[in-house]
A and B are shown apart, each in its own frame.
Chain A
Amino acid sequence: MAAVTALSMSISAFAAEPYESYIYDTWQDAIPSQNSYRIDRTVTGYDMGLQRLSDPEDPLFVSENAAKKLANPRDLYFDDDEKQFWIADTDNNRIIRLDEDLQITGCYYSVGGSTFSAPTGLYVKRSLYTDKLYIYIADTNNSRIIKASVEGDMELEMVKEYGKPDTDLYTVETFNPSKVVADAAENVYAVCSAVNQGAVQFNAKGAFQGYYGANRVEVTAAVIAQKLWRKFASNEQIDGMKRNVPVEYANFDIDEGGFIYTVTEKSNTTTDAVKKLNPAGYNIWDNVTGNEYKFGDMQSEWDPTSNSNHSTRLTDICVGNNGLINVLDYTTGRVFQYDRNANLLCIFGAKNSTNDQRGTFSNPNAVEAYKNNIYVIDGAKCDITIYSETTFGKLMHEAVELYDEGKYTEAKPVWQSVIERDGGYPLAYIGLGKAALNDGEYQKALDYFKAAYDQKDYDKAFKYAREEYIREHFTAIVVVLAVLAVLLVVVSQMHKRNKYIFKGRFKKKAKEGR
C-alpha cells in the first residue's frame, strides 16, 4: 500500500512533461527512463519580434502588412560559427534570421529582385575561399537552389543559381528541391521530391555532378514475390507492374568531418532509416556488415486518441557540434538522441493530444541543437519549442562525452551518479563495465556487462577474466587434472583384472536378461 502511494506521489511530482521518457534495452523492449530534457519554453513569432517588420519606425521595416507570424515554417538551421538561427518561413515566402536568443536580426524576401516562392530548406556556411557568409536556399516552387551571400540585415546578393540539371542523367520531369546542404568544397547537395536515386549533387561551379548516396529498396515479401513473378510474366505484364524504387530521403545534415547524415520517412527502422554517408556516398552505418544499427521506435504503437497506429517516420536529423545526433520523428513528435556511435541516449517530445499542451507538436518539421538545448520548429503551431537539459541529462551527456573519447576511468564517477538517478540506464552499466575492464577488475566488469546485457563486451571481459583465473589457479588445475588421469588409469586397470569398485547390481541384471 505504501509503495503504491509512493508511486502515485512520484508520478504527480514529475508529471510536468507531457511525455514519459523511455529507452530501449538489448531486446528492443521499451523500458522507462529518466527525462533527459525538459521543456524550457516555446517561442512564437511575436516573441521573436516579427512585429518589427511592419513597424515603420524600425530599421527592419519591410511593409505595413508584413506577416507578424510564422506560416508553416519548414526548416530551421543553426549556424554554429555565427551563432545565428535561420528559419525558412515557407508560406510567407521569406527567410528569417534570428540571433542565439531567437530575436529577429534580419529578414529576406528576395535575392537580387527575384522573390522566393515557398522556400523549404536552407543552409548557411561561411566560405573558406571568399570568407563571405553564404546562404543556400531550396526555393522549391521556383525550381531552383539559390546560393547567395548575406550582405546585410535585409539584403542578399545572388552568387549562383542552380536550376534543373540539363543532362540526360536527370530523368525526372520536375526539379523541386526541398532540402539543401553544402560541404566544405561548396559542393551543393539537394533533396528533391520524386528523385529517388539520392541527393542531387552540384559542384561549386554549378555543374550537375550526379546523384549521391541512394537508398536501397527495402526487401519485403511483396518485393520478393514480384521479383519471382517477373521471371514468368510477359513484357506487357511487366510494364503494368508497380516498380520497386527506394524511398527518397526526407532530410539530411552535414557534420564538421564532411559526413552527411540522412533520414528517410518510412516505418522500417533497419533499412536505411538513418545513414551516415562518407564523401564517396558509402553508408557507414550499414547493417549488412553484421552490425545492428536501429533508429526510431522499434514497434509501431496504438494511439487511442487518434485511433490509429503510430509508426516511426523520421523527418529531420541534426548533428550537434558535440557530436550528438538528434533525429525527429514526425508521427510521434519524438526526438531520438544518439551518440557518435549510434547508441540511443534518450527519447523525448510528444505529439499533440486533444489538450494542446506546451511542448507537444502538430507538425514537427525540423530539429536543431545549440549549447545544451534542443530546438524543434512546428509547422502548424508556428513556434519553436526549446528543450533544456535536466540534471540527469547533463550528467549523462558528460559521461557519454568522456566515454566516446575513450576516457572510461574519468567517466566512472559520472556514470555512478547517472545510475543513482536512473538505475536501469543500460549505457551507464556498459560505461562502468568498460572502466572496470580498463582497470583490470574483470569480475566487476562482468557483472556490469551482465546488468546491461551486453554480450559482446562481456565476451571480451570474460576472455581476460578466464586468463587471469587460469594464471592464478594454474597449480590447482594441473593437480586436479593429474589426479583424474591417474584415477582413470587405475580404474581401467582394475576393470581389466575383473575388480570393480561398484559391485553387483548391473551385473546381476545382465544375467537375468540372458
Chain B
Amino acid sequence: MYEFTPVGWLKHCVFHPVEGFEDLRWKKQGSMKISLIIVFFLFVAMVADRQATGFQFNDNYVKIFNVVPLIVQSVVYYITWVVGNWSICTLLEGEGTFKKIAIYSAYSLVPYIVCTIIKVILSNFLVQEESIWISALAYLGLGWSIVLMIQAMKACHQYSFSKTLVSMLLTLVAMLLILFLAILLLSLFQQVYVFFYSVYTEIAYRIRG
C-alpha cells in the first residue's frame, strides 16, 4: 500500500490528520530518532520565539535570558505528557506502548514547531499593522497540532473519539500530579541535604573544639 521513507511517513502523518496515524500504526512505522530530533527542535523553536522574534513584536523581558524555564516548557512537558498518558491509558485499556506514545506525540508537534519558526522569521520582516499574519500562524500551528495530537492518541490507543478526549484530559491531570510530586520531591531532598549538611557542620565544629 504505502511506501515511504521515515521522513515521508512523518509528512504523511502531518498532512493526513484523519488516517495518517492509523496508517503509521498499521504499517508499524515511526522512528524514535526522528521523535527525539523533533523534541529538540521544539526546544529550539521556543528559544527562537523568545530571543529571535523581531524587535517590534518581542514583548519578552529580554534583559535576562534563562534557559531553564524553556527546557521545562518543552522537553520536561513532553516527557511528563508521555509518562502521564502512558500511565493513564494503561489503566484505560489503551493499546499504545510507551514508545508508540512518545513517537506519535512528537510527530503531532511538528506543525506547531514549523509555524513557530515561520512566525519568528516573518516577525523580522513585518510591522505591527500586519501582525494579523503572525497571530494567524500561531493559531494555525497550535490548532493543527491539537487536532493531530487527538488523532495520534486515538490511533495509538484505538479509542473512540470521546474516550480519547477523556484520556487526554486525565493526562493533563496526571501531568499536574507528576510535576507537583517532582517539585515536592525536590524540596524534600533539599531539606534532607540541609539536614545532613547541618549535622556535618555540627560535627565539624565539635571535632575542631
Contact = CB atoms under 8 A, between A and B. Distances in A.
Contacts of A507: 5
B55 interface: yes
A206 B65 CA distance: 63
Interface string B12-50: 000000000000000101000000000000000000000
- The interface residues of chain B, by DSSP majority, are classed as loop
B6 A513 contact: yes
Contacts of B55: 450, 455, 458, 462
A506 B6 contact: yes
A243 interface: no
A510 B61 contact: no
B127 A463 contact: yes
A514 interface: yes
B8 interface: yes
B127 A462 contact: yes
Contacts of A514: 3
A475 B6 CA distance: 40
Interface string B50-66: 00000110110101000
Given A27-B61, A466-B127, A513-B29, A506 B8 contact: yes
Contact of A506 (B5, B128, B129): B5
Interface in A499-514: 506-507, 509-510, 513-514
Interface in A438-496: 450, 455-456, 458-459, 462-463, 466
A458 B56 contact: yes
Contacts of B8: 506, 510
Contacts of B205: none
B77 interface: no
B56 A459 contact: yes
Contacts of A506: 5-8
Interface residues of A, number: 16
B127 A459 contact: yes
Contact of A462 (B3, B7, B56, B58): B56
A499 to B, nearest CB: 17
A87 B5 CA distance: 88
Contacts of A463: 127, 129
A295 B151 CA distance: 52
A473 B116 CA distance: 28
A455 B128 CA distance: 9
Interface in A318-336: none
A455 B63 CA distance: 15
A27 B27 CA distance: 54
A466 B4 CA distance: 42
Give the interface centre of B3, B6, B56, B128 by most chain A CB atoms within 10 Å. B56
Nearest to B7: A506
A509 B5 contact: yes
Contacts of A510: 3-6, 8
Given A459-B128, A507-B5, A509-B6, A27 B63 contact: yes
A462 to B, nearest CB: 6
B3 to A, nearest CB: 6
Nearest to A513: B29
B208 to A, nearest CB: 34
Interface string A329-366: 00000000000000000000000000000000000000
A502 to B, nearest CB: 11
Interface string A286-299: 00000000000000
Interface string A73-101: 00000000000000000000000000000
A456 B29 CA distance: 50
Nearest to B58: A455
B84 to A, nearest CB: 30
A466 B125 contact: yes
Interface in B44-100: 55-56, 58-59, 61, 63
A458 B129 CA distance: 13
A506 B6 CA distance: 8
Nearest to A508: B5
A450 B5 CA distance: 46
A466 B127 CA distance: 9
Contacts of A27: 61, 63
B158 to A, nearest CB: 22
11 contacts: A29-B63, A455-B56, A455-B128, A458-B56, A459-B56, A462-B56, A462-B127, A506-B8, A510-B3, A513-B27, A513-B29
Given A455-B55, A459-B56, A506-B7, 4 more contacts: A466-B127, A506-B6, A509-B6, A513-B29
